[in-house]
Chains A and B, each alone.
Chain A
Amino acid sequence: MAGGRQLAGGGVLIRPPDPGDEPGYELLLLDPEVSAWLRPEPLSPFSSAEIAEMLADDLRHWRDAGFGPWVLVDRDDEELVGRVGLHRTSVGGELVTELAWTVRPGWQGRGLATAARPVYQSPKPLPLALARAAQTADIAAEHLKIVCREEKLLEPGFRAADLPRLLRKHPQDALMLVGHEPDFSEVIASLTGGNVKMAKAGVALIDYAEKKGKLLWLVPPKLVRR
């Protein structure tokens, strides 16, 4: 399954671009109808090098600004179907933010623009790390059929001392927390006394009581993947 948040109406996921999206960008930008719109005569069509540079620019945009164009992918075959989101550009010597929007012809007219709006027009765009954690949480919640909520305490800087407050806010027998490194490794070490290194997308189960924890298992992403 492709990572990303599902758009209302189903069928399409939205996520920030990643370096592996170059074939998807080519599929989108070399489509004859898209090319006629973005590279009209007398301009020449996109070259592979320009497409690679465009993806690199989108990745830089996310890294530097904390937001940028998102990609829309087909939920079933993970093919890229569009690129949408806020993007900085320069007009009259001033830096402005525009809405970039391109959808492959077969996917137009399905209301993707409306469905994607709450993601790309969030009042405060999520920094990349936060966006990734939110996507991971969405995927886990969908698979486990559990409710997913955003929790500010889990933002970078989360410590073991925050846990009692977090548990008071979410009084459940079992909670799945998705957060950031090195915070989670440090929290586990602080609770269990063990020297633990959480890999990105790794999962750990902690039996927690009385401000202490017992590490029951720690699974690296390779095993989680199936």
Chain B
Amino acid sequence: MSDRHQDLELAAPPDRAREIVREAVAELGWKCLEDEDGALVVRESPRLLLGRWPVGIKVSIADAGGKRSALKLCGRMGGFGPFIAEQLKERMEEFASRLQRQAAAHSASSA
């Protein structure tokens, strides 16, 4: 399996950041669950076409102060090698930028 970690800060308090993650996941058509320690578990729908394995991301959210949240994204994909590593990186960056867009839209609408 392949792992990748990414840190991210969102301009939203933790409760709102959780909503943002859930909204982004729903838009993507993925699944979002909550694990025992309160982290969100995001599962991509299987995309077997073109041989791509799905990605799973555990999202831990902490208060970063000043109505901001610190997100820790721990992503995993089946298999190994440079192609898998690149696909995992692509997918996590795509997910992270979607979260940031969503957070920016939220702060614009609440301003």
Contacts and interface: CB of A to CB of B under 8 A. Distances in A.
B76 A57 contact: no
Given A43-B43, A88-B50, A89-B50, A96 B56 contact: no
B48 A96 contact: no
A162 interface: no
B27 interface: no
Interface stretch (B4-12, B83-91, B101-109): B83-91
Contacts of B90: 91-92
Interface string A91-122: 11001101010000000000000000000000
A40 interface: yes
Main secondary structure on chain A at its contact with chain B? mixed
B56 A42 contact: yes
A40 B79 CA distance: 9
Residue with the highest number of chain A CB atoms closer than 10 Å, among B42, B55, B79: B79
Contact of B48 (A39, A57, A90): A57
Contacts, number: 62
B78 interface: yes
B57 interface: yes
Contact of B43 (A38, A42, A90): A42
Interface of A: 36-44, 50, 53-54, 57, 61, 87-92, 95-96, 98, 100
Interface of B: 1, 35, 41-43, 46, 48-58, 76-79, 81, 83, 86-87, 90
The 10 closest A-B pairs by CB, nearest first: A38-B78, A43-B56, A89-B51, A40-B1, A42-B56, A42-B41, A87-B51, A90-B50, A40-B76, A91-B86
10 contacts: A37-B1, A38-B1, A38-B79, A40-B1, A42-B56, A43-B55, A53-B48, A89-B83, A90-B52, A91-B90
